[in-house]
Amino acid sequence: MEAELPWTEKYRPHVLSEVVGQEEVVKRLKAYAKSKNMPNLLFTGRAGIGKTASALALAHELYGEELRRSFLELNASDERGINVIREKVKDFAATLSLGNVPFKIIFLDESDSLTRDAQNALRRTMERYSRTCRFILSCNYSSKLIPPIQSRCAIFRFTPLSEDNMKTRVEYIAKEEGLTLDKKALEAIVYVSQGDMRKAVNVLQVVSSTSEHIDEDTVYKVTSKARPEEVKKMIDLATKGEFINARDQLDKLMYEYSLSGEDVLFQLNSEIIRNESISDELKLKLIDKIGETDFRVSEGANERIQLEAFLAQLALLTK
């Protein structure tokens, strides 16, 4: 029996018109697909917003059934050394395309993980085989690529997906899978995903294994995330000077939800930004304190002591 694909693969867009939230990017890519000609491309932006999906959808529209012979996908974070450029990439780029499109495509995902030597080798390969091959590079940080590579590519900057776009896609997948999704559960999935569509789809698949009816409680339990109102409650208690009660609320977050110190800090950062009862001036001071606390925790300091110290600072600043 063939294993079922993860939903991130099963519901990945196969044509450009299915890519959501990147209208300007899709418009330019459709023009390339129609003309069957394109330059080297550089896709940059945060994770889970459609870079890989757009590259594969463009390849599907260009090659159709000839995709396997004309398209090579590599993940540069797995194969990041110079040998992969000298062997796999060079060998594939050197051969002619046999289909209707006069060039092949090499897709290097997470290309900002390539070593400096590998990037210099890639630069020469892109230049030498420009007649027979085009490159699509995908990365989170374009600044990590050397300038000669950036100058050889048309740069596409992918913007974060809106909540509406994420909700629409999650609702579509839930309908296709025969799931019922509460409004609050949908909002919870969007909240814990933080703009990452891939994470949202994974969360939906995980919670669907427990029940066909998905509610808010299940989403937070499965993802080990605290409800935003519970984090806000801890902030409100501290700002009122009720340090002991705020500390008890911290215990609940860390032990009942099994949150790490970094998880708590991440949600604190989000909720302080969203809290309308806190002035902009105070938000600046608190975000600065969160940055200091996060640094200490990442350097190995006791996370419980550091979080209590942050709550103490929050109480003192609002006294």
Report the alpha-carbon distance of residue 319 to residue 317 in Å, rounded.
6
What are all long-range contacts of 239-242, with beta carbons under 8 Å and residues at least 24 apart? 239/277, 239/278, 239/314, 239/315, 239/318, 240/318, 241/315, 241/318, 241/319, 242/315
pLDDT of residue 134: 93
Query: CA-CA distance, 165 to 162, in Å (whole number)?
Result: 5
- Which tokens belong to 109? 């995902």
What 8-state DSSP symbol labels residue 302?
-
CA–CA gap between residue 240 and residue 217 (Å, rounded): 28
Closest CA to 231 of 250, 259, 244, 251: 250
Percent of the chain as helix, strand, coil, to the nearest 5: 60, 10, 30
CA distance 305 to 293: 10
Compute CA 155 distance to the chain's CA centroid, rounded to the nearest angstrom: 19
DSSP-assigned states of every residue in 146-207: -HHHHHTEEEEEPPPPPHHHHHHHHHHHHHHTT-EE-HHHHHHHHHHHTT-HHHHHHHHHHH
Q: Nearest to residue 265, comparing CAs of 216, 201, 315, 314?
A: 314
Contact 51, 141 (CB under 8 A): no
Host H or E run for residue 20 = none
- DSSP notation for 26-73: HHHHHHHHHHT---EEEEE-STTSSHHHHHHHHHHHHHGGGHHHHEEE
Domains and CATH numbers, the chain: 7-157 (3.40.50.300), 163-223 (1.10.8.60), 228-317 (1.20.272.10)
Q: Which amino acid is at 127?
A: E
Residue burial 188-222, b: 16+ Cβ < 10 Å; e: rest: bbbbbbebbbbbbbbbbbebbeeeeebebebbbeb
- Total residues belonging to the chain: 319
pLDDT of residue 1: 34
Could you tell me if 135 and 39 are in contact, meaning their C-beta atoms sit under 8 angstroms apart? no
Question: Given strand 153-157, what is the order of strands in its sheet?
Answer: 71-75, 104-109, 133-139, 40-44, 153-157
Distance (Å, rounded) from C-alpha 171 to C-alpha 230? 26
**Mean pLDDT in consecutive groups of 10 residues from the start of the chain, 319 residues:** 70 85 91 92 91 92 87 74 71 81 90 86 87 91 91 91 90 90 90 88 89 87 86 90 91 83 89 87 90 92 92 86
Q: What is the pLDDT of residue 77?
A: 63
* CA–CA–CA angle 97, 102, 107 (5° rounding): 70
Which secondary structure element, helix H or strand E, spans residue 106, and what is its range?
Answer: strand 104-109
